[in-house]
Amino acid sequence: MASTIRVRATSSGETTEVQALIQHPMDSGFVKDAKGEIIPPHFIQQLTFEYDGKNVFTADWGGGVSKDPYVKFAFKGAKKGDELKISWVDNKGATDTTTAKIQ
């Protein structure tokens, strides 16, 4: 299966701009389906971006974040060609990881 994470990281010399799109239902647990039954909560709890063994960005998410969430941030100190590791864990224990080369 294709990765659930799309990442684009571009360096402009000093800072690296990172954009990511993650495929996830992000069910809050407060919504009912067509039959009137509650859709159980299913959302990403933690999203981390790792560079050179260090966390450069961590997001603690909950059910209030939209489906297929999008993140954008920038950090200093990375070079072109370096690798960025992205991973998430959801409340059901599922996880996905990918790496992206900084362009």
Partner 1 sequence: MKLRSAIYLASAAFALAVLTLASTLPSDAADKVDPVADAKAFRKFFTDKFPKVKLEDFVNGPYSMNEDLHRQWQEKEQFPPYEFSLEMGKEMFSKPFKNGKSYADCFPNGGIGVRQNYPYFDEKEGKVITLELALNRCREANGEPPYSYVKDEMAALTAYMAFTSRGKPMDIKIPNDPRALAAYENGKEYFYTRRGQLNFSCATCHVQSPGERVRAEILAPALGIVNAMPIYRSEWSGMGTTSRRFTTCNSQIRGVPLSPQDDEYRNVEYYLSYVSNGLPISGPGARP
Q: Select the residue interacting with partner 1 from 66, 76, 81, 93 (CB under 8 A).
A: 66
Nearest-approach distance from CB 32 to partner 1, in angstroms: 16
- Regarding 21 and contact with partner 1 (CB under 8 A), the answer is yes
Nearest-approach distance from CB 38 to partner 1, in angstroms: 18
> Residue 46 and residue 89: Cα distance in Å, rounded?
5
Contact residues: partner 1, CB under 8 A: 2, 6, 8, 19, 21, 23, 66-68, 70
